[in-house]
Structure 1
Amino acid sequence: MGRSAIILPIVVIVLVAILSSIFVVDEREKALVLQFGQIRDVKENPGLGFKVPLIQEVVRYDDRILSIDTSPLEVTPLDDRRLVVDAFARYRIEDVVRFRQAVGVGGVRSAETRLEQILNAMTREILGSVTSDDILSADRAALMERIRSGASRESENLGLEIVDVRLKRTDLPEQNLEATFARMRAEREREAADEIARGKEAATRIRAQADRTKVELVSEAEKNANITRGEADARRNAVYADAFGKDREFFEFYRSLSAYEKALAGSNSSMVMSPDSEFFKYLKSEHGGRPSSGEVGQ
């Protein structure tokens, strides 16, 4: 009974010591065995590990790809058009020993603080070497790759590998938005004025061409009308001449009637002429201008 009371506690202590000396490393982790703050062993592969109970401790770090969002950052490109940039990065702990030596007990939080400083500095440097149009364009993958490459070199001392860097947002500062919109409006108004001026110029050119075409058409029509009128007058004169040749007395009678009609038209109802004028010879004669046999005797 006495021996059992002594052995049992010893067995329990041994079991506890054995269990406390064994630890399991997950496939998503890397582990360091520390003794009084000094690294004694590194476990990067999943499986069982051993440590000295009470003297050594195990510190675990995530071996997966992690992400960090940087705070909005104001940058000044080459054209002095300030932009607010918001980025994020994906990284992983590549060298767990160097990582521990760099950040100590601060762990991932301390590493992300320093990593954000590196990303901000590299973002300012890269984006400050190009114009705002390059930053705002859809094809800016080369800029993000340059930021990632530069940040990777700077973060090697932290034992980190930068997997990717992305620019989430590139906007103008709030105080510059109104001025930028006013400049954009002025630019669009100038373009509209240019288009209106070009339209008016084209309209004037078309109107001048139409007026010239009108003058040419009217001139051509008047020429053709004069030609037609001349031909008609010629035919009329030919008809008159033919009629005059067939009956000279009738032609003279017709012409006299036309002259009476024109002379006495409208308000011209009074005329002062000699009674012996040839103008009234058809009015004085009862036989259409030919003297009668009695008149001949007289």
Structure 2
Amino acid sequence: MQKAAIIIPAIVVAAVIGMSSVFVVDEREKALILQFGQVKQVKSDPGLGFKLPLIQDVVTYDDRILSLSTRPLEVTPLDDRRLVVDAFARWRLVDVVQFREAVGQGGETVAKSRLDSIINAAIREVLGSVPSTTVLSDDRTPLMNQIRDLARREAASLGVDVIDVRLTRTDLPEQNLEATYARMRAEREREAADEIARGNEAAQRVRATADRTRTELTSEAQKQAEIVRGQAEAEANGIYAQSYGQDPTFFAFTRQLDFYRKSLASDTSSLVTQPDSLYFDYDRFLQSIGDAPAAR
């Protein structure tokens, strides 16, 4: 019984010590074996590992690609227009020993804090060297690559690799938005006024050209009409002269009819005369004109 009382606790202690000397490394992790805070071994392959119980400790770190969203910060580009910028970074642990020495027991929490400062400093440096129009443009890939390369060099001392940096937001501060919108509206209104002025000028030129063309066409038409009218009157006078030579009585008759037509041309014409007036007496009319047709 005494032996059993001694052997059983010894077996339990041995089992505990044996179990504490074994650890498992996941395929998504890297492990460090520490002895009194000093790195004694690095285990990056997944599977079982062994350490000295009670003397050595095991610390594991995530070996996957990790993400980091930086805190919003204000930057001032070359044209002194302040911008609020957010960024998103992806990073990975590449040197676990250097990482342990750099961040100590803080692990990923301390690493993310220091990476945030490194990336923000890189953003300020890169975006401060270009105008705001470049930062606000659709193609910011060259700028993001510069930020990534600069942050990668600075983060190498932490034992990590910055894989990528993306600008997720580049906006004006709230207090500057209204002034910016007002300036944009003023610029658009000025451009609209310029376009309207150019349109009015073009319209005036078109109207002037049309008026000149109309005047020229009207003048030419009037000239042609006068020419035709003169030719027609000359031809009519020739016909009248010819007809008078052939039949003076018929010519006088046509002259009287023309006289009637002209005197009663208007719908409101009124004629007050005596019944025996020359106007209604054709024979007397013919006698009165005698040789007058030639004169009239």
**TM-score, normalised to structure 2's length?**
0.87
Shift in Å, 1:262: 7.3
C-alpha distance 165-258 of structure 1, shift in aligned 2 (>3 A): closer
In structure 1, C-alpha distance between the alignment counterparts of 2:104 and 2:258, rounded to whole Å: 132
Matched residue type, 1:169: R
The superposition leaves residues 195-251 of structure 1 with CA deviations (integer Å, 9 ceiling, x where unpaired) of 111111111111111111211221122122112211210121011111121124554
- Structure 1 residue aligned with 2:101: 101
In structure 2, C-alpha distance between the alignment counterparts of 1:75 and 1:85, rounded to whole Å: 7
In structure 1, C-alpha distance between the alignment counterparts of 2:284 and 2:123, rounded to whole Å: 125
Shift in Å, 1:5: 1.9
- Structure 2 residue aligned with 1:213: 213
The superposition leaves residues 35-84 of structure 1 with CA deviations (integer Å, 9 ceiling, x where unpaired) of 11111111111111111111111111111111111111111111222111
Aligned pairs (5 A) from 1:162-181: 162-181=162-181
SS of 1:289 mapped into structure 2: helix
CA RMSD of aligned residues (A): 2.6
Name whichever of 224-233 and 117-126 sits farther off.
Answer: 224-233
Shift in Å, 1:6: 1.5
SS of 1:139 mapped into structure 2: coil
C-alpha distance 244-107 of structure 1, shift in aligned 2 (>3 A): same
C-alpha distance 241-106 of structure 1, shift in aligned 2 (>3 A): same
Matched residue type, 1:247: D
Matched residue type, 2:16: V
C-alpha distance 122-286 of structure 1, shift in aligned 2 (>3 A): closer
SS of 1:57 mapped into structure 2: strand
C-alpha distance 255-59 of structure 1, shift in aligned 2 (>3 A): same
1:288 and 2:286 correspond:
yes
- Structure 2 residue aligned with 1:70: 70
* Percent sequence identity over aligned pairs: 62
Counterpart contact for 2:24–2:49, Cα < 8 Å: yes
In structure 2, C-alpha distance between the alignment counterparts of 1:178 and 1:286, rounded to whole Å: 101
- Structure 1 residue aligned with 2:114: 114
The superposition leaves residues 156-197 of structure 1 with CA deviations (integer Å, 9 ceiling, x where unpaired) of 111110011010000000010000000110011011111111
Matched residue type, 1:40: K
- Structure 2 residue aligned with 1:187: 187
Counterpart contact for 1:253–1:289, Cα < 8 Å: no
Matched residue type, 1:150: L
- Structure 1 residue aligned with 2:291: none
C-alpha distance 254-23 of structure 1, shift in aligned 2 (>3 A): closer
Instruction: Point out where structure 2 has 5 or more consecutive residues left out of the alignment.
Output: 289-296
Provide the aligned length of Structure 1 versus Structure 2.
280
SS of 2:286 mapped into structure 1: coil
The superposition leaves residues 130-149 of structure 1 with CA deviations (integer Å, 9 ceiling, x where unpaired) of 11111111111111111011
Shift in Å, 1:285: 7.5
Runs of 4 or more, structure 1, over 3 Å off, are 248-270, 283-288
In structure 1, C-alpha distance between the alignment counterparts of 2:25 and 2:79, rounded to whole Å: 53
- Structure 2 residue aligned with 1:160: 160
**TM-score, normalised to structure 1's length?**
0.86
- Structure 2 residue aligned with 1:130: 130
